[in-house]
Structure 1
Amino acid sequence: MAVPKRKMSRSNTRSRRSQWKTTAVHLVECSNRACREPKPQHVACPTCGQYGGRQVTQPA
């Protein structure tokens, strides 16, 4: 197992961690013609409860 020979300095650690970035959630239009609300991809619509043209949950 690889073990570091020397302690990594704070500046090196922080510069490496500065590359950790988050991205905004990509929103798409609901496929339900009556709804058309923005929703996250690959998730049932929180407004109408449909996913892929089928009713999967009760609308909120």
Structure 2
Amino acid sequence: MAVPKRKTSKARRNSRKANWKLSPLNLAPCSKCGELMLPHYVCKVCGSYAGREVIKVN
């Protein structure tokens, strides 16, 4: 197996692990009620998808 020629420093090792961050959610307004929701998902407030009611919400 290949063996590293030099020791990896702590700064170099830690900088590789520093880029694991969350990206902000891409929210879009619902076409029926205007509530923010994930695109291509059923709205949790009014239960509509693509302008029509898919699930009944109380």
TM-score computed with the length of structure 1 as normaliser:
0.68
- What letter matches 2:24 in structure 1? A
Q: What's the CA shift string for 1:4-43, capped at 9, x where partnerless?
A: 62375543332111112211111111011xx111111121
What is the CA–CA distance in structure 1 between the aligned matches of 2:14 and 2:2, rounded to whole Å?
17
Change (3 A) 1:48 1:11: same
For the pair 1:56 / 2:54, whether they are aligned, the reply is: yes
CA distance in 2, matches of 1:23, 1:46: 22
Unmatched runs of 5 consecutive residues or more in structure 2: none
* Structure 1 unmatched ranges of 5 or more: none
TM value normalised by structure 2: 0.69
